[in-house]
């Protein structure tokens, strides 16, 4: 989450995105390529931060340890299970063809959270959605994984990088066209003329006492990704990027004002990807809903950032692809079927929870 100093930026971006329709994005493949069949839908759900309810024992939701966690990183973690199940029901009704998840699937990488998340995503896959995921900074080798019991917190197992790709094999890894040997990055075929480039830019190998928030694309991974972007272009295949951290600044000076949310060396990396042929990437991490673009010469790259399911206004995306590109609409979770403190409705409660960020 964000420092309180910059919470107003997050709040403003969330409010703006919650009340406007997203713009039409130019078709990154002017030939059409056959992927733009009428009504094709792509959903984007980011930063789920799913916490299995079993991690809260003996009224731990009101205990000192869990409250200290929320004070340091205010997120609607306690309600992540009903929130995501609500989104699942809405997606089953919406029936997107593809679901993209740009990382932070779990609270802090707890093994039990991953196990449940895999089961939940399988339900969506069984409902005929093609699901693709990448890890976020919370998901792998996380030393902050905890179980809460009353007023206390104790370490609980997280998972390794190899375990991540094994557990989420059905969601990008098992049937990948190519896997990067240096990261959890992959290229997978979503449709005959559409590839998903899942980029792992997290720094979990270097985690020690805490999980590293920042992201970077390894030089070897950058070279690997450029090759496959170029290969997609050579084959006249549209390719969409999927990554946890932003690839482009979403406001001027973001990397200086709020470091750790845009991937390192973003200007050079984004220019290299653009030159190779990438036009669209889906990101998360910043818990804000926004779209930005970078133009260098004749190249344009859109970074479509989706907010978090545990931060107001609880958004997710639905993209409808058309002949000339796609429209992007933002949906919001407005009810989760759970009794909330003070008898508040869910939008009111979640907005008040977010406002805690602005308090001194």
Mean per-residue pLDDT, 288-293: 96
> What are the CA-CA distances from residue 355 to residues 4, 29, 45, 133, 328 (Å)?
10, 41, 23, 30, 27
Annotated domain spans of the chain:
4-358
% of the chain at pLDDT higher than 70: 88
Mean per-residue pLDDT, 329-341: 96
HEC profile for 84-132? HHHHHHHHHHHCCCEEEECCCCECCCCHHHHHHHHHHHHHHHHCCCEEE
pLDDT tens digits, one per residue of 313-331: 999 999 998 776 789 999 9
Please give the class, per CATH, of domain 4-358.
alpha beta
pTM of the model: 0.92
Count of residues for the chain?
360
Question: Nearest CA to 284 among 354, 220, 199?
Answer: 199
Least confident of 11-20, 114-123, 173-182, 204-213: 11-20
């Amino acid at each position: 989450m964000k420092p309180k100093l910059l919470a107003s930026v997050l709040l403003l971006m969330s409010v703006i995105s919650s009340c406007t329709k997203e713009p039409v994005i130019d078709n990154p493949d002017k030939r059409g390529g056959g992927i733009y069949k009428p009504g094709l839908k792509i959903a984007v759900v980011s930063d789920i931060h799913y916490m299995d309810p079993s991690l809260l024992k003996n009224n731990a939701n009101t205990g000192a340890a869990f409250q200290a966690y929320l004070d340091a990183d205010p997120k609607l973690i306690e309600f992540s299970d009903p929130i995501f199940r609500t989104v699942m029901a809405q997606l089953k009704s919406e029936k997107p063809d593809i679901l993209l998840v740009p990382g932070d699937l779990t609270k802090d990488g707890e093994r039990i959270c991953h196990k449940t998340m895999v089961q939940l995503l399988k339900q969506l896959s069984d409902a005929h959605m093609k699901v693709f995921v990448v890890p976020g900074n919370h998901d792998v080798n996380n030393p902050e994984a905890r179980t809460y019991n009353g007023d206390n917190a104790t370490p609980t197992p997280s998972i390794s990088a190899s375990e991540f790709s094994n557990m989420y094999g059905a969601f990008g890894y098992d049937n990948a066209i190519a896997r990067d040997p240096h990261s959890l990055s992959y290229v997978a075929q979503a449709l005959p003329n559409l590839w998903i480039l899942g980029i792992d830019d997290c720094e979990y190998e270097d985690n020690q006492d805490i999980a590293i928030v920042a992201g970077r694309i390894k030089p070897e991974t950058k070279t690997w990704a450029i090759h496959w972007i170029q290969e997609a272009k050579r084959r006249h295949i549209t390719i969409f990027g999927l990554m946890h951290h932003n690839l482009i600044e979403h406001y001027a000076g973001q990397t200086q004002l709020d470091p750790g949310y845009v991937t390192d060396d973003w200007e050079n990396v984004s220019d290299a990807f653009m030159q190779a042929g990438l036009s669209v990437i889906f990101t998360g991490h910043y818990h804000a809903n926004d779209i930005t673009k970078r133009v260098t010469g004749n190249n344009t790259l859109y970074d479509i950032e989706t907010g978090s399911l545990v931060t107001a206004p609880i958004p997710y995306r639905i993209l409808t692809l058309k002949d000339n590109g796609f429209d992007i609409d933002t949906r919001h979770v407005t009810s989760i079927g759970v009794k909330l403190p003070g008898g508040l409705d869910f939008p009111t409660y979640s907005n008040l929870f977010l406002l805690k960020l602005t308090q001194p």
